[in-house]
């Protein structure tokens, strides 16, 4: 599920500042990056299953591996995890409304932080 109109779409920010802001909201980047792309994930374990709020970005300048990059964010996604296949974001998925509201609040808070250092 795409979470559109969050104010994060196409925002550009310094990688190190972005890492700090994402960590404050409970997102992890870990090994989900290569030299031009990265993914931040926040995991939700609920009785309905395991869900991930995912914010992806592309390096528009620099190198993620060197920790010197400007990242352009993409539209955040909410997906449901299915073992052993992975995360599905499809239109046919059923996302609890309480989870969607919680994710929208997290993204709103994140946007308010990032706007202070966006490029």
Look up the domain containing 99 and give its range.
12-114
Residue 4 lies in a domain: no
Residue 2 lies in a domain: no
Q: How many domains does the chain have?
A: 1
pLDDT cut 70: percent of the chain above it: 100
What is the per-residue pLDDT for 32? 72
Residues 23-72: tens digit of each pLDDT = 999 999 987 778 899 999 999 999 999 999 999 999 999 999 889 999 99
pLDDT cut 90: percent of the chain above it: 80
Residue 76 lies in a domain: yes
Of residues 33 and 3, which shows the higher confidence score? 3
Residues 68-97: tens digit of each pLDDT = 999 999 999 999 999 988 888 987 888 999
Sequence-ordered list of residues with C-beta below 8 angstroms from that of 32, at least 6 positions apart, any chain = 38, 39, 40, 41
CATH of the domain at 63: 3.30.310.100
């Amino acid at each position: 599920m795409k979470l559109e109109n969050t104010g994060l779409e196409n925002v550009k920010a310094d990688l190190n500042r972005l890492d700090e802001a994402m960590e404050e909201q409970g997102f992890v980047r870990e090994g989900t990056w290569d030299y031009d792309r990265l993914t931040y994930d926040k995991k939700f374990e609920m009785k309905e299953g395991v869900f991930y709020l995912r914010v992806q970005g592309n390096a528009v300048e620099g190198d993620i591996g060197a920790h010197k990059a400007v990242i352009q964010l993409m539209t955040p996604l909410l997906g449901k995890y299915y073992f052993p296949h992975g995360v599905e974001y499809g239109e046919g998925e059923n996302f609890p409304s309480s989870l969607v509201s919680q994710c929208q609040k997290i993204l709103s808070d994140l946007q308010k932080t990032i706007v202070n250092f966006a490029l």
